[in-house]
Each structure stands twice: as structure tokens, then as C-alpha cells.
Structure 1
Amino acid sequence: MKKMIRIILIVIGIILFSFWYIQSSNELVNTKEKYKIGVLISGTERIEKIKGLKEGLQNLGYVEGMNTSFVIKNADNQIDLIKKYANELDAMDLDVIIAGGAIETKFFKENSRGKTPIIFLGVADAIQLNLVESYQKPNGRLTGVENGHVELSGKRLQLFKLLLPSLNRIIVIYDEKIDASLLSLEKVKQVSEKLQIGISPIPISNLEQLKELKSFSFQENDGILVLPSYFLEKASLTIGQLALERNIPTFGVQSSDIKNGFLLSYGVSYYDQGFQCASTVSQILHGQSAGSIPVEKPDTVRLLVNAKTERALNIEFSKIGNAFIQRIE
């Protein structure tokens, strides 16, 4: 009988302790600070940046739905919506705002009344785009992670010719409305003159110009090099399919271009840009000012090849270039 009473008391004690522990845990979670993070992306193509950002933040202890919430605005590649959403986010009571790229960051930069810290998630050249004063001490409310597209655009041209020496002319597609694309074009021109690589620049900033590309007179041993632009990100699949139809090797900006049928890409992935950005967000949430946090360069740059496109175009890379590529099926 005494043994039975002892067992009952132990069970009751365990139940009471469990109830107390659950209540205490809930109170602890409820008393934790709730961080509010705004995110603006120009279009769906940049969703992978958000995925990388969230996973990076979770690794640092910022868990969505527990101590962190997100307000995400997707402008669907409409310039008016990008500006509208930038103003809306700036007017909200947020701890920090993430700008998905240069075009998004530009509108936050133009809003002199904005006070919320802005972290750009992959821009081509923060200084040349007049986003920060210096890399080490950005000053103001902007800092973030670069994607290196201006410098990498010149490197892409060099790699294109190294991997495929038989190329006679490289069609360079750029966006004349985007500063990062124009800066990249200048870098490509410098490299082409230095290495004596023939190029033919073609501006594509809208659907009408994209349609005109289909009637372009491609020649044997042509190649296509695409420069950074939020519009050209959206047009990536169309360009990739056209290039395959015309048997033209195409060099893109990021890994998403590989998925769209491009032969090559050289750069940092959207996911990696987002993941890297998480540490900067954490510094802001811990009270550090954006202007005191150095702008970061990309951690990881990869040279990728679409193996399916390689086979479809019957590509033979040079021996020296073949040693550096990573094939993706």
C-alpha cells in the first residue's frame, strides 16, 4: 500500500514539474525580443536569396515564428512597385530592411527621411553605384554583401575565350537602364581590348528588345555573354532556350542561368548571398550601426557548366579550362 502511494506521489510530482517546465518555457519564449525584418526583392527570381538568408539567420538563433518575423515585398519586376514597396517598408516599425539587389537599394538610398538600417543582398559595386562611401566604413544606414558582378563580368569574358578558343565573336547582352549593367559593360570592353576578343554589345531592357533578339543574325562560332540586370534575370529562360535552338554557347551570371539552359555561369549563387548576409543582419540586431559594418565581398564564387547543354551543343572545352569547371546535371 505504501509503495503504491509512493508511486502515485512520484507520478503527480512528475506531472506538476512538467506543467511548470512547459509554462516557464512559454514565458521565456514570450519574453524574448521579437525582431521584425523587412525584405524587398525586385522579382521572384530572387526568392533563393531569402531562403539562404532565413537559413543563415536560423543557424544564428533567429527563428521565424519564435523570435523573428518577416515582412516580404515582391515587386514582380515592376519598377513602380519597387519604389512603392521601398517607401512602405521604410514607414514601418522594422528593426532592419533587406534589399534584394542594387535596384531595390537605390530607392532606399534616395529616401533621405528613412531611418531603418538597410542591408543590400548582392550588389555589383557598392562604391561605383554610390551606395556607400567606403567598404570599411560605409557610413549612413547602408551596408551589405557585394556579388562582385562588375569585376566578374570581365573575368567571364576571359574565361569564355579560354574555355572555347574557337569563339570569333561574343554577343554581349546588357541592360542600358541599369547602372550595374553599364559598369559591367565597360569592364567587358576593357578586357576585350586588352585580350583582343571581338564583342558586339546588344541592349535589352524590355520585352520588345528581347523579341528582337530572336531575329538577330547569329554566325558560326558566336557566343552570348549576359551581364547583370534584374530584367535579364527574368529573361534568362527565354535567352537560354533561344541559344539552345541556335546552337550558341551562352555564359550567364549565376547558377540560376545554368538551370535555364545556359552553358556556363561564374559567380556567387543567390542562396549563398543570402546565407552570407545573415551575419550582417545579426550585427544590426545586436545594436551595431550599419555605417560601421564593413561591406563584404562574396565568400564563394563557382564556375559551373550545364552538362546537358554541353552535350546538346557538342562542346569541347580547352584542356586548360576544363580543369576549373564544375559540371551540373
Structure 2
Amino acid sequence: MEAFRQGLRELGWIEGQNITIEYRWAGGNMDRHPALASELVKLPVDLIVTAGSPAVRAARQASITIPIVVAIMSDPVALGYAASLARPGGNVTGLASLFEELTPKQLQIFKETMPRATRVAMLSYVDSAPSILPATEAAARALGLKARVFRIRDVADLDAAITAAKTERADGVHVLPSPFFNRHRARIAELATKHGLPSISEASEYVQDGGLMSYGPNFPGMYRRAASYVDRILKGAKPGDLPIEQPTKFELVINLKTAKAIGITIPPAILLRADEVIQ
């Protein structure tokens, strides 16, 4: 959120002076999103800023008229929130990561890092965008990887899934995009390392918390960019007329300390491609 507030300040919006922000947090409980979105609509607010498919869905169900600016979301066209990226047409706009295209690239990096890998465990949150998992499973098959999907509902499922992945001799763990996984990234990293499993996610914070690798957009930058949508909408623009943007820069982050802990060597070619290496 600090990146978002910074983006607002750069555009002249100072919290407490010329803009008021009503904060609502789900605290990792995705079931709270509908009630929180309804609260905001009843206040009312001039627009809603959110991120993640469950939160976007809740906001959209709460109002089809209040502008919704999304900092991070999956394919909004596939989800039915926009007619097209160039002209959304509804009340939802912002930035789309198109995780359906990102996760296959993550698997490719995983395979290049672990060329002998044949099995991969996939952690998929039950409320994630439905198009992400099929795209990722198809990519796994194309790379010669057998995917074992674990559908995660709560924190207890994480322990059970990663333990089972080790028992079933998975060669690594692919953490699919979800706000739930991001909130519990430190626990996932800890479990994967404990069981000696290489892992990859989309958030660099995951690697900073002990995960092996991440490949994805700069999420703070996306929040900062979301502020520009707020600026334009508050100045009269209609959300349906504002094109949905996609990130153009993706970062590969590697934790060599974790690599050493689980006993693997990162190929030099992968290290050379890394934007950040944590020693």
C-alpha cells in the first residue's frame, strides 16, 4: 500500500488533505471480501481500489456502478469484468498480470534450473481465477513434467500438501498466484526448505522470506501505477474508457542461501539472467 500512497502523492493527492482512504483488510480470509466490499459501497465511496481475483469479484458483485481500480488481477476479459483490455467498457479497470501467461514461464525457469525434474507439486488456492490452473497444467505437460495439484483452502492444507509432495517424490513446488499464498509466503518457504523442495512463486517477497526463486512483475510498481487510474477517475474519466495495462518488466529473483540449504546448484545461465540474487 505504501507504493500506492506514494503514487498518489506524486500526483498531488495527499491523504488527510484532499483525499480520504477507507481501509479494509481481509486478513488472509478470502471469505470476508463480500462483507468488506459491501461496507465500502454503503459508506459510500467514490471508487474502490483492490487486488486479487477474490477481492475483485466481491467488489464487482457489490457494485456495477462504482469505479473499481485493480492493482493486480488475472485476465479480466476471461473473468467477465472487461469487454477487452483496450476498452473495458464496465466499471473495472487497472492492471492485469495475465497469470495464465506468467505461470508457464515460471515452470520453464523451474525446468531449466532442475533439468532432471519430472514431477512438480502445484499449490492452487481454491478461490483463484479458474483459468490459471489449466494453463499451468498444460505448460507442465509440454515440458515433460507430471503435475500433482494440491487445492488449498487454509493454512493447515499447506503443511499437508508440502509434506505429501515430499512423500510422493515431487522434484519441486510451484506456488500459483494468490493473495492467500502471498500472505502465507514465509510459511510456504519454510515448509519447502524443510522438506528439501525447490520452489518458485511470482513474488520477490517470497524469495526474501526464504523461497528459492520468483519470477513475476514488480508488484509495488503496479500499485504505484494504479494511483494514476485513481487520479484520472477522480478528475472525471470513466473506468470503462481507460485501457487495462499489463506489466512489461518481469524480475527473476534467486535465493542462494536457500539453494545451499536444500542441496542444489543453480545453473550459471540462470544466475546470469537473475535481476537479484540473495546470498
Shift of 1:148: 2.6
Shift of 1:203: 1.5
Aligned to 2:137: 189
Among 92, 95, 103, the residue aligned to 2:43: 92
Change (3 A) 1:80 1:222: closer
Residue 224 (structure 2) pairs with residue 268 (structure 1): no
Which runs of no fewer than 5 residues in structure 2 stay unpaired? none
Change (3 A) 1:90 1:256: same
Change (3 A) 1:138 1:256: same
| Higher radius of gyration, 1 or 2 | 1
Which AA in structure 2 matches 1:139? G
Among 217, 238, 248, the residue aligned to 2:197: 248
Q: Provide the rounded CA distance (Å) in 1 between the counterparts of 2:37 and 2:28.
A: 13
Shift of 1:263: 0.2
> RMSD of the alignment, in Å?
1.9
Residue 9 (structure 2) pairs with residue 63 (structure 1): no
Residue 178 (structure 2) pairs with residue 229 (structure 1): yes
Which AA in structure 2 matches 1:286? K
Q: Provide the rounded CA distance (Å) in 1 between the counterparts of 2:29 and 2:259.
A: 34
Q: In the alignment, is the contact (CA less than 8 A) between 1:53 and 1:276 conserved in 2?
A: yes
Further displaced range: 218-227 or 271-280: 218-227
Change (3 A) 1:217 1:267: closer
Among 97, 110, 117, the residue aligned to 1:167: 117
Q: Provide the rounded CA distance (Å) in 1 between the counterparts of 2:84 and 2:161.
A: 39
Matches within 5 A, 1:1-329: 50-112=1-63, 114-178=64-128, 180=129, 182-213=130-161, 215-216=163-164, 218=166, 222-325=171-274, 326-329=276-279
Shift of 1:214: 5.1
1:271-306 alpha-carbon deviations (Å, 9 max, x no partner): 122111111111111110000000010143101112
1:9-67 alpha-carbon deviations (Å, 9 max, x no partner): xxxxxxxxxxxxxxxxxxxxxxxxxxxxxxxxxxxxxxxxx111111111111122222
Shift of 1:215: 3.7
Q: Provide the rounded CA distance (Å) in 2 between the counterparts of 1:276 and 1:299.
A: 12
Shift of 1:157: 0.6
1:179-215 alpha-carbon deviations (Å, 9 max, x no partner): x2x4222111211222222322221122342232254
Q: Provide the rounded CA distance (Å) in 2 between the counterparts of 1:190 and 1:201.
A: 12
Further displaced range: 252-261 or 202-211: 202-211
Q: In the alignment, is the contact (CA less than 8 A) between 2:222 and 2:247 conserved in 1?
A: yes
Give the TM-score normalised by the residue count of structure 1: 0.79
Change (3 A) 1:189 1:80: closer
Which AA in structure 2 matches 1:122? I
